[in-house]
Amino acid sequence: MYSSESIAAAEQSDVAIKLAGAQQIKDITTIVFMNLMLLVPIAWPGLVLFGFRWALLKKATSSARAAVLWSCTFVHEVLCFILFASSSASDETIGLLPNYYYAWGYAIGIGLSAIALLELMYRSSAAK
């Protein structure tokens, strides 16, 4: 059995849940605008991560799971940002928008995941 203290420590804050919701909304928007690009195998890890990240919207997600998901999200967002930021204006447009819009979207994702990781670290250090 778990004590009430260990269960409370495993619960996410309202801020963490709101950050996860914002990240999912950002990803849904990206998915809609990327359109058929999502059929390409390079997009599949992001889609899998998107599916796993729905668990972050629940209050009872463990800190360890949240840390893994937010860390993977941060790395994914950085790599995708580099990919789209390095494309030039003459490169072929992916999906429905010019590529620099995707770079901006992934920059927002970097910020959201960095804030979520910082919030998670703050809560874990405050709990000690």
Q: pLDDT tens for residues 19-45? A: 999 999 999 998 888 876 777 777 888
Average pLDDT estimate for 105-111: 96
Please give the full DSSP string across 3-64, using - where no structure is assigned: -HHHHHHHSPPHHHHHHHHHHHHHHHHHHHHHGGGGGSGGGHHHHHHHHHGGGGGSTT--HH
Domain map (residue ranges) of the chain: 12-122
Determine the average pLDDT of the residues in 68-83: 95
Q: Return d(Cα 19, Cα 126) in angstroms, integer.
A: 19
Task: Give me the phi and psi of 28, to 5 degrees please.
Answer: -60, -45
Measuring CA to CA, how many Å separate 111 from each of 5, 26, 70, 91? 31, 12, 11, 26
Residue 3 has pLDDT above 50, yes or no: no
